[in-house]
Chains A and B, each alone.
Chain A
Amino acid sequence: MKPAPFAYHAPDQLDEVLALLGDQDHEVRLLAGGQSLVPMMNFRLAAPEVLVDLRRVESLRQLRHSGDGTLAIGAGVRQSALLREPVVTDGWPLLSEGARHIGHPQVRSRGTVCGSLAHHDPTAELPALAVALDARMVLASASGTRERSADEFFVSYYTVALEPGEMLLEVRFPRCPAAAGWSFKEVARRRGDFALVGVAALVEAGDDGTVSRARLVFCGVAERPFRALDAEQAVVSGASFEEAGRLVSEAVRPMGSIHASAEYRRECAGELAARALSEAWERATGG
């Protein structure tokens, strides 16, 4: 099908974007990569009256690596640009490995990092990665900017903590602990499909050779990224990775769909947790 008519703006300054976005009398949407919005418009699941395209705002295309080790990714940075950046592959290997699972090269070449975070599909990789890596979200409107943690940002299916007139200006990833082992695993029906279930894992080894810190965040098992606190705690207290997997299977309450039943997703979540933890552990201990 074809999209409904709309007015199109592609300003080159951020304040023009924010002014247009603040228009309360019309349904205004940002257009970033269009890889989620345009399909919805083609199906007429979305019919915004005004589209504000970010493509001409040069300042938003920046990917900055600052002195304190923070990686800041602007709203115009495409997923393909993230994957091409050696700083990211070296410093945030979990982020680049996870982002590699997003769709296909033909989608990542337009889709943006911030667009995926703002859209918040519950099976999308980036929201889970943002929670796993303690990302900070910078929100901007015509009246100023504010910051939220990734954990506060993701509310529920396709819903994030953005007020009307507000946009996600950039996402900031703090430096990864150098000693942390990491792993990203997912199950999808076909390569490039949205995940049925995915998991991001981080593990650190203490001086005594046991797990001192663990982080497990899932996509596809809840209405927002799911952190398996019980399993994380169990692993730190000496539980095996298989036991942690069993705890995950018991804790998650995914919904079933035509793609996979709830039970299958629960099993996948547990198995992925065990595999991701052991891969992360191997990386942490140089094994």
Chain B
Amino acid sequence: MAEVDIRLTLNGEERSASVEPRLLLSDFIRHHMRLTGTHVGCEHGVCGACTVIVDGEPQRSCLMFAVQADGASVETIEGVAPNGELGPVQQAFHEAHGMQCGFCTPGFVMSLTALLRNSPDADDDELLDSLSGNLCRCTGYVNIIEAARLARERMNGAA
């Protein structure tokens, strides 16, 4: 199939590329842009490992074609730690031990980053609603919830 030209903002930088329409945004990010922090677990929208922020909203990059990101602003886990310094949600996961193997972590961080930027005073119900969209096979979630609350406390203070 004919390739399509796209232009998007990826972690604040203008990027352009020529892609096949069937290329998933997740594969574009990982294989074409070489940003492998976005993980792919299920490719059908269930696990949340591939979550990125598109135009300010958390979305599944495995359920979007790269062509649909034409004109959009996409932020990946690499974008929340631009100078190698952990972002507030990452720092909270580190301190609260919100991870074990780490496979699910980028997805959780992107979901929570989007939530807390849009609503810094999100209540526990909103936190859990957001966390419900990401699966973790290791931790049992207790420390992830802990990390989410810690991140809220800090980001709320900053706002």
A pairs with B = yes
For chain B, the count of residues having a C-beta within 8 Å of the partner chain is 32
Question: Could you tell me which A residues sit within 8 Å of B by CB distance?
Answer: 1-8, 10, 31, 34-35, 38-39, 41-43, 51, 53, 55, 80, 103-107, 109-110, 190-192
Report which of A39, A51, A53 forms a contact with B44, defined as CB distance below 8 A: A39
Report which of B27, B67, B115 forms a contact with A8, defined as CB distance below 8 A: B67
Question: Could you tell me which B residues sit within 8 Å of A by CB distance?
Answer: 1-2, 4, 20-22, 24, 27, 43-45, 48, 51, 57-60, 62-65, 67-68, 70, 111, 115, 128-130, 132-134
> Closest residue of chain A to B51, judged by CB?
A106
> Closest residue of chain B to A1, judged by CB?
B43
Report which of B45, B68, B111, B132 forms a contact with A39, defined as CB distance below 8 A: B45
Chain A residues positioned under 8 Å from B132 (CB to CB):
104, 190-192
Report which of A6, A8, A43, A191 forms a contact with B129, defined as CB distance below 8 A: A191
- Total residue contacts A-B, CB cutoff 8 A: 92
| A43 to B4 CA separation, bound complex (whole angstroms) | 23
Q: Are B1 and A6 in contact (CB under 8 A)?
A: yes
| A103 to B45 CA separation, bound complex (whole angstroms) | 10
> Closest residue of chain B to A84, judged by CB?
B118
User: Given the interface contacts A51-B21, A106-B111, does A38 sit within 8 Å of B133 by beta carbon?
Assistant: no
Q: Are A2 and B63 in contact (CB under 8 A)?
A: no
A140 to chain B, nearest CB (A): 22
| A167 to B133 CA separation, bound complex (whole angstroms) | 30
User: Given the interface contacts A2-B24, A42-B43, A105-B115, does A34 sit within 8 Å of B63 by beta carbon?
Assistant: yes
| A280 to B62 CA separation, bound complex (whole angstroms) | 39
Q: Are B63 and A35 in contact (CB under 8 A)?
A: yes
User: Given the interface contacts A34-B63, A39-B44, does A80 sit within 8 Å of B57 by beta carbon?
Assistant: yes
| A42 to B128 CA separation, bound complex (whole angstroms) | 28
- Given A53-B67, A106-B58, A106-B111: 7 more A-B contacts, CB < 8 Å: A2-B24, A5-B20, A7-B21, A8-B67, A35-B63, A41-B22, A53-B68
